[in-house]
Structure 1
Amino acid sequence: MKLLTRNNILLFLVVLLISFCSFIVLPRSTPTTLKIGSFQRDLQIKKGLDLEGGVQLIYKVELDGIDSADREDAFSGVKSVMERRVNFFGVSEALVNTSQSGDNYRLYVELPGVYDVDEALNVIGKTAKLDFRVVDNSAPDPTTPEYTQSGLTGSNLKKAQVAFDQNTGEAQVAIQFDDEGSRKFEEITRNNLNKPLAIFLDDQLITAPTVQTTILDGNAVISGSFTKDTAKQLAIQLNGGALPAPVTLEQQKTVGASLGDTSVKSSIVAGIIGLILVALFMTSYYGVLGFIAVISLLCYALITLTIYILLPVTLTLPGIAGFLLSIGMTVDSAILIFERLKDEVRLGVDNKFAVESAFTKAWNSIRDANVNTLIVCFILFNPLNLQFLNSSGLVRGFALTLSMGIFIGLFTGIVIVRTIIRVFYLNDFELELGRIRLPRFSFRGIRND
C-alpha cells in the first residue's frame, strides 16, 4: 500500500472541510445551535430587512449644542449606544448605519423580524438615567421620606439582565456594578441598614427596597411590578446607557415579509438557472476538467454559506447579487487556467509540467483581475466612512459578499481544482478489478497521451 502523498493528504483535508460545511448548511426543521467552547452560533442564515421584513427607523442626531470639534466623537457615541441597544433587543442581524451631510447627522436603524414599532421605539430611542438615592434625614416630615443623591449612578453599572424571584417567580432585573460602583454600593448599604434605598429611572421612583445587610459583591436586584417583557425592556435601557446627544425620530417604516419571500424565491430560481447553465457550458466545452470546475463551484457555495452562518453575515438582496456575481468570477478563474492548460497541451508538454505551468502562468491574470475588483469593493464598502463615498447598508452588503466570494473563489479555484487534477489526472490508481488509467487531457481534437 502506497504512503499518502502530499496531494492525497490535501485532498483528504478538503473532503473534511466540505463535510463540515455540508453539516453546517444542512436544512433543519428545528433551530440548531453549534457550540464549541465559548463559541456559540445558531445554524441559520441571518436575513436583512429586505428579505426578512421588519422595521426601519431613521433618527436625526441633534448636535447643535456640541462643539464642532467634539461632534464626531458624540456622533460615534450615539451610534455605539444604539448598537448596544439593538443587540440587547435580541436582533443579532440588526444594522445601525450613519449618514452625514453638512451639519445633518442621521442614524438608520434596521430591525429585521421586528414588527412591533411601538416597542422598538420605546426601547431604542429612550434615554435611561439610573441613580440610587438614600433617605434625606434633614427632611421636615419623617413620615414622608425624601431622597437625596448617593453618588451611585448608572455609569457604574456593569451589566443588567432579567432574573426571576426563586420564591414568587416574579420577574426582576439583576444588576452588577463595576469595581468603583461595588465600593460605593458597599458603603451605601453599610451606612443605611434598615433604611430604604430608592432606585430612580429618569427621575421616576421604580422601587425603594429596605437595606437588610451590607452588600459586598456589587450585585443587586431591582424588583417591582415587572412582567417578563417590561423587565427585559428595563435591562436593555440600563445596558445601553444614556445617549451622548438627543435624537429625534424622523421616519419609521414597516416592511412586509411577503416582499422578502418573493425576493428570496426569485433569487434562488435565478441562481439555480445560472448554475445549471454554467455547469452545462463547462462540462460540454472542457469535458472532465469542466466537471471538476463544477465540483469546485459546489464546494465554493458550501464554504461561502458556512461562513455566512458562522460569522454571521446579514444577507440582503444586493448581498445575494454579490454572491452570484462572485460565482461567475470563480468560473472565470477556472477558464483562464484551462485555456492556459490547452496551450501547454497543444505544445506537447508533459501532463505534469503542463498542469503546474498552466496554474503558474494563469495566476498573474487571475490576481490582477481580482485585485481590481477588491479595490472596487473597498470603495463601495467605505470602511473609513468617508463622506463623499457610499454609506448605504445595502451597497455595503453587496461589497462584503462580493469580496468574500473573491477570496473563497481563489481558494476553490487554485487549491481545490489543482488538488483534484493532481490526484486524479497525474496519478494511477489500483482497484480490485485491476489497474486503470483515467483519460488524459483532450481539447477539441488536441490530445496528450
Structure 2
Amino acid sequence: MKKSNIWGLLFTLLFCVMAVAFLIPSFRVYRESPEVQQEMLRENPRLGGQILNLGLDIQGGIRMVLGIDTSHATEEEKERIRQDENLMNRVYTVVENRVNALGLTEPIIQIEGNERLIVELPGLSDEEIARDMLSRAAQLNFHLVRSNENQRIQQILDNVDRALAVADHRGAEEDLPADELDELDELDLLDDEPVAEEDLEDLADDEYTATFSDLIYHIDEMSAQAPASAKPRIDSILALPGVQRALQGGVFRWSNIPEIRQQGGRTDTLRAENGSPIYRLYYLTAEPSMGGKDLERAEAMPAHQGIGYQVSLQFNPRGAREFGRVTGRNTGRQLAIVLDNTVYSAPNINERIPSGRASITGNFSREEAQQLAIVLESGDLDAPLVVEQATTVGPSLGRDAVRRALNAALFGLAMVLLFMVFYYKLSGLLAVCALLLNLILVIAIMASFGATLTLPGIAGLILIIGMSVDANVIVFERIKEELVAGKTVSKAIDMGYDRAFVAIMDANITTLFTAFILYQVGSGPIRGFAVTLISGIFVSLFTALVFTKMVYHFVIDYLGKKNALKKLSI
C-alpha cells in the first residue's frame, strides 16, 4: 500500500474534521431564535467572526439606494458636485458612521457610479428609522475635551452611579442613606421627572451589571474605555434624565475605531476578556466650541518632519476668526473632531492659530490621514442625500425562500445520487461522497472567512453540485474508454485521470474567470454568488481530481490485487 495514498486520505479526513469544527458555531447560533442569536453574539463577540453570516435576503432587512439630491441646486452647484471627485467618499464615511451606530451584523455599503450609494442592513425591520438616520444632514463639530485629570472622570463616573442608584430605587429616595441623599441633592441628581417604565426594566435586567463604573474597562487622563459589547447598555444609561444631569454639562462620545496596542513588535486590537474590542469614550463639553461649516478644505499630505502624514486645514475668514478664538483660549487642551456624535480624532492645541491654516499631526499613515481629511470635509456636503429606493425583506419571507432553495438543492442532490449510482455503480457512489465532501468544505471555507451566504449563494451551491458531478462524469468516461481498450484497472484509472485533466481544467478556469468578474463588478447578492462559486470551483477540482483518485488507489492497494483486479464497478 502506497504511503502517499494513506497520508493523502488522512489529510483529507483532517480537513473534514476541521470543516465540521468551523461549522459548529454556525449550527449553535442559527438553531436558536433571532432574539437568542443576538444575545449570544452580544455576550461572545468572537462568535460573530466564527459563523457563516446570512445575507439580507435570508434573515430579512432593508436595502436602500441613496442618491445626491440636486433638485434644488443651481447650475453652478450642480457643476461643482459633478467635479467633486471626493464627494462620494465623504458620503460613504457619513453613512458608514451611522450604520455602525446601529450595531448590525455584516452591513453592506457600496458606492455605485458617481452619485449613488447602496446600503444593505440585515436584521433591521423599521424602514422609517433607516430613512431618518441615513438621509439627514451630516453634523461636524469641534468639542473641547472636558478634563485632563482621570480623578475628574472617576468623579463623573461615581456621579452616574449615584444617579443610577436613584433610578434603580424607582423614586424611593427615602430608602437611601441620609448622607447619600444630601450629596445627591447638592449635585442636583434627584430626578424630578419619573423614569420611563421600560428604561427601569432595562436597568433591572439581571444580565447587566448594577453600576455604570463596572461597565468601564479603564480610565486615563482624557477619557474612559469600554468594550463594544457594553455600548448599548452604556448608551441607554447615559440617555436617562438623571444621569444626564450627573454629567455636569459634559457628554460622553465614542471613538470611531477600537483601541490598539503594541505587542511583540506588532499592532493588535485591544480586547476585553470576552473578545469584544475596546473603544474610547471621550468626556467632552456638551456644546461645541465651533461648527464645521466654515472649514473650506482638508487635505492629507506628508508631514514636515518627513515621518508619516498630516492633515492640513483651511478655514474661510469667519472660520479663521472663530478658530483663532478657540485655540487662543484653550492652548494646551484637546479639541475633539466629532462627526455625527462620533469622535474621529482629538488633537492637542499647541498654540493660538489666527491665520485659519492649521495642521493635525500624529504620525498618521497615508490612509489614516486621508480618512480624517474626508471626515473633516463631510460636515459640509454640497447636496443632501435622498432615498431613491427602499426594499424591505421580512424574516418570514427570507425563511420561506431558504426553505424552497434547500428543497431544490436536496431534490437535485437526490436525483444526481440516483443517476450516478444507477449508471456508474460503486464509482457513482464514490462521486456522491466526493460531492458531499465538496459541499461541506465550501460552506466551511465561507464560515472560516466570515463570508455572507445569500440566496444567490445557495444557487451557487446548487450549481456546484452539477459542476462537481460533471468533472466526475468526464473522468469516469475516460476510465471506461481505457478499460475497453484493454488496459488494466490500475492503468485505466491513471490514464483516465490524465486524459480528463485538461478538459476539466479548461471548463473550470473559464468559469473561474467569470466568477472573478462577477465579484469585481457585482454588488450584494451577486458577490455572494461569486464567492460561493469561486470556493466551489477550487474545492471541486480537489475532490474530483485528487480525492476520488486517492480512494481508487487505496482500494486497489488495500485489496492487494493491483495486477489481478480485472473488473471495476463503473
TM-score relative to the length of structure 1: 0.68
- Residue aligning to 1:228: none
Paired letter, 1:398: F
Paired letter, 1:93: E
- Residue aligning to 2:411: 273
Paired letter, 2:413: L
Paired letter, 1:131: F
Instruction: After TM superposition, give the deviation of residue 356 of structure 1 in Å.
Output: 2.0
Q: Deviations over 1:349-380 (max 9, x none)?
A: 23333222211110110111112222332343
Aligned to 2:507, the other structure's residue is in SS state: helix
Q: 1:84 to 1:327 in 2, by over 3 A?
A: farther
- Residue aligning to 1:173: 253
Aligned to 1:312, the other structure's residue is in SS state: coil
Q: Distance in 2 between matches of 1:361 and 1:112?
A: 47
- Residue aligning to 1:261: 399
Instruction: Say whether the 8 Å CA contact 1:300–1:409 is kept in structure 2.
Output: yes
Instruction: After TM superposition, give the deviation of residue 22 of structure 1 in Å.
Output: 1.7
Task: Kindly tell me the number of residue pairs found equivalent between the two proteins.
Answer: 366
Instruction: Say whether the 8 Å CA contact 1:43–1:309 is kept in structure 2.
Output: yes
Aligned to 2:106, the other structure's residue is in SS state: coil
1:119 aligns with 2:129: yes
Instruction: Say whether the 8 Å CA contact 2:9–2:550 is kept in structure 1.
Output: yes
- Residue aligning to 1:5: 3
Give the counterpart of 2:463 among 305, 319, 325: 325
Instruction: Say whether the 8 Å CA contact 1:175–1:219 is kept in structure 2.
Output: no
Give the counterpart of 1:372 among 491, 503, 510: 510
Aligned to 2:111, the other structure's residue is in SS state: strand
Q: Distance in 2 between matches of 1:403 and 1:266?
A: 24
Give the counterpart of 1:97 among 110, 117, 122: 110
Q: Distance in 1 between matches of 2:498 and 2:93?
A: 47
1:58 aligns with 2:65: yes
Paired letter, 2:559: D
Q: Distance in 2 between matches of 1:39 and 1:134?
A: 32
- Residue aligning to 1:398: 529
Q: Distance in 1 between matches of 2:125 and 2:532?
A: 27
Aligned to 1:267, the other structure's residue is in SS state: helix
Q: Deviations over 1:72-117 (max 9, x none)?
A: x4324433553454345332332223333xxx62112111111133
- Residue aligning to 1:139: none
Q: Distance in 1 between matches of 2:54 and 2:343?
A: 23
Q: Deviations over 1:254-285 (max 9, x none)?
A: 22122111101111111111111111111121
Instruction: Say whether the 8 Å CA contact 1:61–1:75 is kept in structure 2.
Output: no
Instruction: Say whether the 8 Å CA contact 1:129–1:201 is kept in structure 2.
Output: no
1:442 aligns with 2:568: yes
- Residue aligning to 2:442: 304
1:411 aligns with 2:546: no
Q: Deviations over 1:139-191 (max 9, x none)?
A: xxxxxxxxxxxxxxxxxx9x99645899x89994344899xxxxxxxxxxxxx
Identity of aligned residues (%): 28
Instruction: Say whether the 8 Å CA contact 2:58–2:402 is kept in structure 1.
Output: yes
**Which deviates the most, 18-27 or 329-338?**
18-27
Paired letter, 2:99: V
Gaps of 5+ in 2: 71-77, 147-222, 259-283, 294-330, 346-371
Q: Deviations over 1:18-54 (max 9, x none)?
A: 1121233243245578xxxx98644443222222111
Q: Distance in 2 between matches of 1:54 and 1:350?
A: 59
Paired letter, 2:119: V
Q: Distance in 2 between matches of 1:410 and 1:123?
A: 46
Instruction: After TM superposition, give the deviation of residue 341 of structure 1 in Å.
Output: 0.9
Q: Distance in 2 between matches of 1:76 and 1:196?
A: 29
Aligned to 1:349, the other structure's residue is in SS state: coil
- Residue aligning to 1:294: 432
Aligned to 1:442, the other structure's residue is in SS state: coil
Q: Distance in 2 between matches of 1:133 and 1:270?
A: 60
Instruction: After TM superposition, give the deviation of residue 290 of structure 1 in Å.
Output: 1.1
1:422 aligns with 2:553: yes
Write the mapping of 1:13-412 to structure 2, written as runs, cut at 5 A: 13-26=11-24, 27-28=27-28, 29=31, 41-61=48-68, 64=78, 66=80, 68=82, 70-71=84-85, 73-79=86-92, 81-83=94-96, 85-87=98-100, 89-100=102-113, 105-126=115-136, 127-133=138-144, 162=231, 172-175=252-255, 198-199=287-288, 234-235=341-342, 241=375, 242=378, 246=383, 247-381=385-519, 383=520, 385=521, 391-412=522-543
Instruction: Say whether the 8 Å CA contact 1:374–1:403 is kept in structure 2.
Output: yes
Gaps of 5+ in 1: 136-156, 179-194, 205-213, 223-232, 386-390, 430-434, 445-449
Instruction: Say whether the 8 Å CA contact 1:123–1:237 is kept in structure 2.
Output: no
TM-score relative to the length of structure 2: 0.55
Q: 1:276 to 1:134 in 2, by over 3 A?
A: closer
Instruction: Say whether the 8 Å CA contact 1:85–1:236 is kept in structure 2.
Output: no
Instruction: Say whether the 8 Å CA contact 1:134–1:198 is kept in structure 2.
Output: no
Q: Distance in 2 between matches of 1:397 and 1:245?
A: 34
Q: 1:196 to 1:98 in 2, by over 3 A?
A: closer
Q: 1:61 to 1:278 in 2, by over 3 A?
A: same
Instruction: Say whether the 8 Å CA contact 1:128–1:237 is kept in structure 2.
Output: no
Q: 1:276 to 1:201 in 2, by over 3 A?
A: farther
Paired letter, 2:58: L
Aligned to 1:90, the other structure's residue is in SS state: coil
Q: 1:197 to 1:253 in 2, by over 3 A?
A: closer
Instruction: Say whether the 8 Å CA contact 1:327–1:409 is kept in structure 2.
Output: no
Instruction: After TM superposition, give the deviation of residue 392 of structure 1 in Å.
Output: 4.7
Q: Deviations over 1:317-339 (max 9, x none)?
A: 22211221121011100110111
Q: 1:133 to 1:416 in 2, by over 3 A?
A: same
Q: Distance in 2 between matches of 1:253 and 1:366?
A: 41
Q: Distance in 1 between matches of 2:106 and 2:564?
A: 48
